Amino acid sequence: MILKLNHLKVKAAAATQSVIEAVYALVEEGLIDQGQFARLQVELDWIQYKSNFREAVTATQGYNAMGLPAPIMDLHIDTRQVVLETLHDDLLCALHCAEPGVEPDAGRLPLEEFQSLRSSIVWIFNKFFWRHLLAWEAATGKGYDRALPGGSSDGHNPLAIADDVAEFLDLLCSLRAKSQLPAEVNLLEIGVGSGSRCAQWLDLFQQLDQQRGTGLYRRVCFYMGDFSQDTLNKAKPNVAKHIEQCRFIQLDAINPIKSLTHLRHRILQVHLTNVYDNLPDEEVVRRDGKLYFVQVRAYVPQKAVSSIGGKYGIPPELFRDRVYHMLETGFDDFGGPAHGVPFWQELWAAVRLEERLVQLEDLPEFPFPEGLDAGKLEDILQDAPTDFRFHLSSGALESFIRTLPLLHPSGYLQVFDIFVTDMAQYRTGFFGPGKLDGSLLNWVNGALLKEVAQREGYNVNFRPFKYRANTHTSILYTTRRE
Amino acid sequence: MPMNLPILPTAIVGSYAMPGWLERLKTDYFARRISRHDLDEIYDAAVKAAIKDQEIAGLDVITDGELRRDNMVDYFAERLPGVQIDRSSKKFYYDFYDSAVMSKLPMASMGLVQDFTFLHTYTDHVAKFCVTGPHCLTKRIRNQFYPSEEAFAMDIARVMNLELKALVKAGATMIQIDEPYYSGFPEDLAWGVNVLNVLVEGVDAKIAVHICYGNRYGKPSWEGSYRYLFPRILKAKVQQLTLEFARRGGEDLDLFKEFNAPFELGLGVIDVKNTDIETPDMVAEHIRKALEVMPAERIHILTDCGCFHLARDVTFAKMKAMVEGTKIVRRELGK
């Protein structure tokens, strides 16, 4: 058995002894045989998200591409939530659930079949959250920003914006000195929120432009892009003062070039804050020289089905249909948001993901996100740890790849988000998925973006977000590669 | 230099689509997983395929697709006598070598004739051979000997002049000089044209100069107007200017009229920085616009730049559109 302690916490360390004892007891009792014991990998994680998709103890079985059991088995123990007194039974239960051929036991109501995390129903929940954000906020009595670490978006930080404006104006002046300043100075923000960042940015730019006498404010075209027309409409009044400079574009963050093809090679700055961490993702495990794809199946524990169903008058046999119906149509079944939102919130809190690992035997044919292929992944993994689990950051990668063609030869992409900047970092903790209010949250595989970017002609650089203490946020920015 | 070409002859600027498998094999070579001999055989097969693709698409002038080249600099830096290369300096084939000149360049052969001969052997169409120009090379090869970039470029031109003459001797009738860095360093044109003239002095072939706004990683490196070329470029002793118009629009076409430029125009009608396939009608429209400033007899129909970064199927479809669009205009002209 291999025991991996992925995070240094006193409580995590304290749990180690109990885990070993509990596993040993199962071996003694004949509930784990020698073969199982030999291939067991126990991972002790500290899951920082209070709300997430894992039971305190879960087991993951490996399979080959034919669907037959492969000789790998992982046990994941969340040392933050584990109850040491019930560890023996929890381990037994988790191992039983992961056994090949065992149908979902009576303790779980699956919401789907095993599949890629990217196509899981949890992303439909995520979309549903953004569509019904106002209803969620009304029910909780606080805005989404309040759920963020620090209580507000880092994108709105006035010092960060001031530094950015000054650097950007310097860039414009240097281009003008070389007679290369375009007639229109295009900027794009993807995911505009309330429009507050754009408003602050333009305020400061206008002031600095006046101070320096550069006369460039009138050339600025600030494209505000968001998938939600409602969000754009709500942002408009906040940028009213600069309305001549603003353009409002409905776009998909995963494919910005699709809506902005007329701006190919014409945007001098693209900015995103906390967008990549909320885009669909997938995970891969590297073990014993082989790659395994993490398949997931969302479920609701039967206990929650009973309690939530009882409260809202939903029989267990109709529970799943009611969940899907709500995600498709909203809260009509509940007579409106007043009853529907509490159901949704309790349901979302109860949703879990079980996992299995499926060997990637035919890597060249795997449907990689755009920008990645088998050859590139193998190159990237050459210097990576031999035994670890990492994000493909599929949505973020596709967004990134489909944003770069928008950049002017002197333009750059700037992303405020939570990044894993080195593949080895994945061995030091848990990086998602977690839940943030009604949405999903994943750290972004910045190391992978960095490698992919090189083949696209860009260097990806990271710098700490120095404007807030104790933050995990860092700033990704691109520079042209020669 | 009689050439049996139709009116509005079609061609790609130089490079053909670099297949993903060839990229991997080139990188395998750098990782010492395949031998030089195997790589050369692979190149031969890839170049033959690129030639055939161009012929089937209906192009009138054929290149070798530049598939033997890692990028537009290293192929020449490696062959320029006296240039020192740090072979450990690149991991991915497309990266530039760290190369430097530490002493005066000796006059010696660069061995380009072999690659031209291969092209000439495998096509009976008019063959165009493309070389990166001295100005561009001075921007990527570190100069640790010459007192100025101009002096360095001038010596490169002298060495390459011999090579161009050797190409003509081997049968080359059309040679294209690639100078994309003019657009990034327009101030260099003051001496760049003199260098160009030394390069082509006594070379008995049709000489085209290709000037774009960069195509590194399939992206433009600069933006601006071709106005910077004029009037200095008028002193260049070349027959054709090959410029990108598809991506940038045709505004700068008027410069040819304004300055009564004596050159043929290599008209870029295919945007190589965009995977969307042009329609024949779009191509025809570009050509009609050029016909407003220049007679058809002085226009060649080309891609904006090399197709190196496009997928093969996209490149092929774009070439077909270019050929079909050109046929539309030829019919309109009754040719």
Tens of pLDDT, residues B190-209 = 999 999 999 999 999 999 99
Task: For residue B2, name the pLDDT band (cuts at 50, 70, 90).
Answer: low
Q: Who has greater pLDDT, A98 or B182?
A: B182
Best residue of B70, B141, B223 to probe chain A, by most A CBs closer than 10 Å: B223
- Contact between A190 and A251 under an 8 Å Cβ cutoff? The reply is yes
Question: HSE of A261 in the Cβ direction (CA atoms, 13 Å)?
Answer: 7
- Cβ of B184 under 8 Å from any chain A Cβ? no
Q: A180 and B273 in contact by Cβ < 8 A?
A: no
Q: Which among A182, A455, A457 has the least Cβ separation from residue B216?
A: A457
Residues of A in contact with B96 (CB under 8 A): 482
Q: Which among A373, A409, A455 has the least Cβ separation from residue B219?
A: A409
Chain B nearest CA to A180, separation (Å): 6
Chain A nearest CA to B222, separation (Å): 6
Q: B92 and A405 in contact by Cβ < 8 A?
A: no
Query: Taking the alpha carbons of A45, A51, A55, A58 in that order, is the dihedral positive or negative?
Result: negative
Per-residue pLDDT at A104 = 59
Q: B220 and A409 in contact by Cβ < 8 A?
A: yes
Q: B273 and A264 in contact by Cβ < 8 A?
A: yes
Q: B223 and A264 in contact by Cβ < 8 A?
A: no
pTM of the predicted model as reported, rounded to 2 decimal places: 0.92
Task: For residue B179, name the pLDDT band (cuts at 50, 70, 90).
Answer: very high
Per-residue pLDDT at A148 = 73
Q: A457 and B223 in contact by Cβ < 8 A?
A: no
Q: Which two tokens stand for residue B262?
A: 């004596």
Q: Which residue of A has its CA nearest to B73?
A: A482
Chain B nearest CA to A184, separation (Å): 13
Q: Which among B92, B218, B221 has the least Cβ separation from residue A409?
A: B221
End-to-end, the C-alpha distance of chain A in Å comes to: 48
- Contact between B74 and B98 under an 8 Å Cβ cutoff? The reply is no
β-strands B299-303, B61-62 pairing: unpaired
Select from A252, A276, A254, A271 the least CA-distant residue to A432: A276
Chain A nearest CA to B335, separation (Å): 35
Q: A482 and B96 in contact by Cβ < 8 A?
A: yes
- Contact between A45 and A56 under an 8 Å Cβ cutoff? The reply is no
Q: Which residues does A contribute to its contact with B (CB < 8 Å)?
A: 179-180, 182, 261, 264-265, 373, 375, 405, 407-409, 454-458, 480-482
pLDDT digits (tens, 9 = 90+) for B256-275: 999 999 999 999 999 999 99
Residue keyed to tokens 């209580």:
A151
Per-residue pLDDT at B27 = 86
Select from A243, A133, A246 the least CA-distant residue to A193: A133
Query: What's the rounded Cα separation, in Å, for the pair B127 and A142?
Result: 71
Residues of B in contact with A180 (CB under 8 A): 222-224
Chain A nearest CA to B264, separation (Å): 28
Per-residue pLDDT at B11 = 98
pLDDT digits (tens, 9 = 90+) for B42-85: 999 999 999 999 999 999 999 999 999 999 999 999 999 999 99
Q: B223 and A408 in contact by Cβ < 8 A?
A: yes
Chain B nearest CA to A455, separation (Å): 8
Q: B223 and A409 in contact by Cβ < 8 A?
A: yes
- Cβ of B275 under 8 Å from any chain A Cβ? no
Select from A233, A228, A249, A232 the least CA-distant residue to A132: A228
Per-residue pLDDT at A153 = 82
For chain A (482 residues), the mean pLDDT of every run of 10, in chain order, is 80 82 89 84 85 91 89 89 89 85 76 95 95 90 74 86 97 92 96 94 98 97 93 94 97 97 96 96 93 96 96 96 96 93 97 95 91 90 91 97 97 97 92 92 96 94 92 94 88
Q: A457 and B92 in contact by Cβ < 8 A?
A: no
Residues of A in contact with B273 (CB under 8 A): 264-265, 405
Q: Which among A179, A373, A456 has the least Cβ separation from residue B217?
A: A456
- Cβ of B217 under 8 Å from any chain A Cβ? yes
Q: How many residues does chain A have?
A: 482
Query: What's the rounded Cα separation, in Å, for the pair A169 and A180?
Result: 14
Q: Which residue of A has its CA nearest to B97?
A: A482
What φ, ψ does residue A52 adopt, rounded to 5°?
Answer: -150, -165
Question: Residue B1 pLDDT > 70, yes or no?
Answer: no
**Edge-to-edge, what's the strand order for the sheet holding B174-178?**
B10-11, B299-303, B264-270, B240-243, B206-211, B174-178, B126-132, B61-62
Q: Which two tokens stand for residue A435?
A: 């839940």
Select from A475, A478, A440 the least CA-distant residue to A459: A478
